[in-house]
Amino acid sequence: MNLKRSGVLLASLVTLLLTGCNAAINRFAFYPERTEKLASFQLPPNVNDVFLVTDDSIKIHSYFIPDNSSRKLLIYFHGNAGNISGRLDDLMTISRFGISVLGVSYRGYGKSDGRPSERGIYADGEAALKYATEDLGFALGNIILFGHSLGSTVAINTARNRNIAGLILVSPLASGADQARQSGFGSVAFVAGDAFDNIGKIEDVRSPILIIHGTNDRVIPVEMGRRLYRKAHGRKQLVMIEGGGHNDLPTRFATEYWGPVSAYVAAMPPGI
């Protein structure tokens, strides 16, 4: 181990001891940006700024793109960096598949209040589902949850033991401990405990699952996607994109990526 890596690990251990495990995990897990890429007046005409309130009274910013010809909705949970404004192109692409889209910016990200934490982003996921059913009027059985990278943890946690229409996971991690080992923190990975425990929760998902992962993902290795696929019950599909990385699937591999997403949405019943 080189001196630089040793110093990083030592600093991590000190942080853990001084701040406690949860605070340290949150520090390393989240990289929010407050700055929005577009002001509200610059948004396309069909993209609406909406705000929802969580059970712990945090105001969360989201984009809602309605499709008045469809009773279906996809709720999009983004990765650990940036905010939802950086995913607007993805949201608009999905909206062209004949489905309404709600894209969520977690607490502490963009225009959302609060500070991010594992428990907090799960509360944000619950608030998004509640907003979708109670305020927007979508039936639970007409809702697809979509999670990219860290967003997969929110999507899986929200989907557990619910009869939603489906679950799409893109470049999902298996667990916080696995991700710590992948990132070079193997000697302190044990402190992650059951944080971000996708592999333990996915057995509770009742809905059809689509997992998409690039074979050249150096952030979250494709083996994590394979493990989740093997652990999942019921109808499931694994799409491995040859040569795909962590953040280039929607652009560099657009056909291989958007094709399965579009087909998955199209295969969903028309809604009640």
Q: Is 61 a catalytic residue?
A: no
Residue 111 lies in a domain: yes
Which of 90, 178, 197, 217 is flagged as catalytic?
Answer: 217
Provide the pLDDT for residue 26: 65
The whole-angstrom separation of Cα 71 and Cα 165 is 12
One pLDDT digit (tens) per residue for the chain, 272 residues: 343 443 444 444 444 433 445 655 666 688 889 888 777 878 999 999 999 999 999 999 999 999 999 999 999 999 999 999 999 999 999 999 999 999 999 999 999 999 999 999 999 999 999 999 999 999 999 999 999 999 999 999 999 999 999 999 999 999 987 776 665 544 444 444 568 999 999 999 999 999 999 999 999 999 999 999 999 998 999 999 999 999 999 999 999 999 999 999 999 877 65
* Cβ pair 75, 146 in contact under 8 A: yes
Residue 250 lies in a domain: yes
Rg over alpha carbons for the chain, rounded to the nearest Å, is 18
* Cβ pair 73, 99 in contact under 8 A: yes
Provide the pLDDT for residue 195: 87
Residues 6+ apart with CB under 8 A from 71: 138, 139, 142, 270, 271, 272
Residue 272 lies in a domain: no
Residue 158 lies in a domain: yes
Collapsed DSSP state (helix, strand, coil) of residue 137? coil
Provide the pLDDT for residue 176: 80
Q: Is residue 37 classed exposed, middle or buried when 0-12, 13-18 and 19+ CB atoms within 10 A define those classes? A: middle
Which of 61, 148, 213, 246 is flagged as catalytic?
Answer: 246
Q: What is the CATH number of the domain that holds 100?
A: 3.40.50.1820
Residue 67 lies in a domain: yes
* Cβ pair 272, 139 in contact under 8 A: yes
Which of 105, 112, 149, 207 is flagged as catalytic?
Answer: 149
Residue 171 lies in a domain: yes
* Cβ pair 132, 143 in contact under 8 A: yes
Q: Is 233 a catalytic residue?
A: no
Q: Give me the helices (H) in 140-268, please.
A: 151-159, 176-182, 198-201, 222-231, 254-267
Provide the pLDDT for residue 109: 96
- What domain range is 134 assigned to? 3-267
Residue 252 lies in a domain: yes
Residue 79 lies in a domain: yes
Provide the pLDDT for residue 124: 98
The whole-angstrom separation of Cα 16 and Cα 192 is 10
Provide the pLDDT for residue 23: 59
Collapsed DSSP state (helix, strand, coil) of residue 193? coil
Q: How many domains does the chain have?
A: 1
Q: Is 149 a catalytic residue?
A: yes
